[in-house]
Structure 1
């Protein structure tokens, strides 16, 4: 949401939940997934996931390690708000 402030625009983001969880921690979101075949190695996170979290964390001036214990959904929504703020010079 964009709002008019005394010195320009302000970008606001609200994330509302009632009974839903905020999703997995970044470390779990990036964790290898168990193979569906017994004896096969775990499936590593996709390159897209690794690139995505690298982009999100760097957008916050942080590293992937810095956000490892934060919920992925909150990291994503925070960066979304920053992108919108930059887009409108808020």
Structure 2
């Protein structure tokens, strides 16, 4: 994983950072929509700023930020990793963009006949996010590793807090129920 980041020159700069720059860079899909939104905001997009308070300030945003999950498995590629300052606190924020795409496989689908590596990863993710292992079968695996990314980066950057935010552009709140179920694991209601 590289540790040197270069500034963007607009939304189009984000395309080359994608796992599949052709497939994932389409009008109406999250990667492109998120890039245009964040670039146009020149700071925190208003809907994200509102989550952190009136004085929320974007310190840095890194598109398609890869985070090692402290095991031999694949890194978690966060759509946007941001350091946000609010109320004299610094927050490590993992942002997952969505339009109509799902959160991918559920734990049940991802954990079929788990290898020792998958068993180790799931235990690690649950430990990092503070959820009993194994988590509910219908929870989405992606939400666990994105949240763990925020926790890991909060530790690495010595921030006060960590947050995982889904930046949704769905006009019909698609997948809100899946996100709400995930938040419910932490006693958070939507």
Residue 103 of structure 2 is matched in structure 1 by 22
* Equivalent position SS for 2:94: coil
Q: Please identify runs of 4+ aligned residues in structure 1 that moved more than 3 A.
A: none
Residue 184 of structure 2 is matched in structure 1 by none
List aligned pairs for 1:68-87, cutoff 5 A. 68-87=137-156
Residue 65 of structure 1 is matched in structure 2 by 134
| TM-score, L = length of structure 1 | 0.75
| TM-score, L = length of structure 2 | 0.38
Structure 2 runs not aligned, ≥5 long: 1-81, 160-190
Quote the Cα distance in structure 1 between the aligned partners of 2:146 and 2:152: 10
Question: 1:84: how far off?
Answer: 0.6
Deviations 1:11-39 (A, max 9, x none): 112111223221111122111xxxxxxxx
Residue pair 1:30, 1:49 contacting (<8 A) in 2 also? yes
Residue pair 1:57, 1:67 contacting (<8 A) in 2 also? no
* Equivalent position SS for 2:134: coil
Quote the Cα distance in structure 2 between the aligned partners of 1:25 and 1:64: 14
1 or 2 for the larger relative contact order (CA 8 Å, sep ≥6)? 1
Structure 1 runs not aligned, ≥5 long: 32-43
Quote the Cα distance in structure 2 between the aligned partners of 1:59 and 1:67: 16
Deviations 1:25-84 (A, max 9, x none): 1122111xxxxxxxxxxxx22111111011000111222233432100011000101111
Question: 1:4: how far off?
Answer: 2.1
- Pair 1:7 & 2:93 matched: no
* Equivalent position SS for 2:137: coil
